[in-house]
């Protein structure tokens, strides 16, 4: 097991399906550029869940790419000291990933694979709900906690009809969030809805 200097347990999941995922993403033309339809989906996901930040996230062998991204204007956390503002979160995400790539507001579209919780979701192939990441030693040491200020997370996998987890949809907050059973069912249903859209596009249907 690996620990950071503060004693936090660090575990980035081994992703044996990454090569198959990359092939499938290339077949679908996903994961290399932002798409307005995915940004709109992320906006609706944030609206439905009440989260200040939401993403449609495709993951390859080395990085995560937010093909859909929503960041609420003026989003703030009010639950822990030293909280990051919404604008700080977006800027820190880009900085932490060590790469450029963003929209007109400078929100980072790329993130390293060892940052955040979506890589765990694609390996688990099931939804993950963290109402307070500090409650989970495995996740509390993730770089996004200290570098970006993320305190809560909820994500669900995008399961392709070939059996590959293409990525995730997720919502995050800089404060503790009681997502509850309703939140879990909502994000799972919306992941299924987005996959239907992707499959219709592959089939050439509107």
Query: Cα–Cα distance between 143 and 10 in angstroms, integer?
Result: 9
Q: What residue spans define the domains of the chain?
A: 18-72+83-202
> For 17-58, what is each residue's pLDDT tens digit?
999 999 999 999 999 899 999 999 999 999 999 999 999 999
The size of the chain, in residues, is: 206
Distance of alpha carbon 188 from the chain centroid = 14
77-97 average pLDDT score: 40
Superfamily of domain 18-72+83-202: GAF domain (3.30.450.40)
Query: Cα–Cα distance between 89 and 76 in angstroms, integer?
Result: 10
Q: Residue 74 — very low, low, confident or very high, per pLDDT cuts 50/70/90?
A: low
117: its two tokens: 């919780």
Q: State the SS3 of the chain.
A: CEECCCCCEECCCCCCCHHHHHHHHHHHCCCCCCCHHHHHHHHHHHHHHCCCEEEEEEECCCEEEEEEEEECCCCCCCCCCCCCCHHHHHHHHHHHHCCCCECCCCCECEEECCCCCHHHHHHHCCCEEECCHHHCHHHHCCHHHHHCCCCEEEEEEEECCCCCEEEEEEEEECCCCCCHHHHHHHHHHHHHHHHHHHHHHHCCCC
Q: Residue 89 — very low, low, confident or very high, per pLDDT cuts 50/70/90?
A: low
> For 139-160, what is each residue's pLDDT tens digit?
998 889 988 899 999 999 999 9
pTM: 0.81
């Amino acid at each position: 097991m690996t620990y950071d200097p503060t004693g936090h347990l660090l575990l980035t999941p081994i992703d044996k399906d990454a090569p198959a995922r990359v092939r499938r993403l290339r077949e679908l033309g996903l994961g290399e550029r932002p798409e307005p339809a995915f940004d709109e989906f992320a906006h609706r996901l944030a609206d439905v869940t009440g989260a200040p930040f939401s993403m449609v996230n495709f993951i390859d062998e080395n990085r995560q790419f937010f093909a859909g991204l929503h960041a609420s204007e003026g989003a703030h956390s009010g639950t822990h000291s030293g909280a990051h503002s919404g604008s700080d979160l977006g800027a820190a995400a880009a900085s932490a990933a060590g790469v450029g790539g963003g929209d007109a507001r400078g929100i980072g579209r790329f993130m390293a694979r060892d940052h955040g919780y979506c890589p765990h979701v694609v390996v688990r192939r099931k939804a993950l709900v963290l109402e307070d990441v500090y409650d989970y030693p495995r996740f509390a040491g993730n770089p996004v906690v200290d570098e970006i200020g993320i305190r809560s997370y909820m994500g669900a996998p995008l399961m392709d009809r070939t059996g590959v987890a293409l990525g995730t949809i997720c919502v995050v907050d800089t404060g503790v969030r009681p997502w509850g059973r309703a939140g879990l069912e909502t994000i799972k249903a919306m992941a299924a809805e987005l996959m239907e859209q992707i499959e219709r596009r592959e089939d050439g249907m509107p």
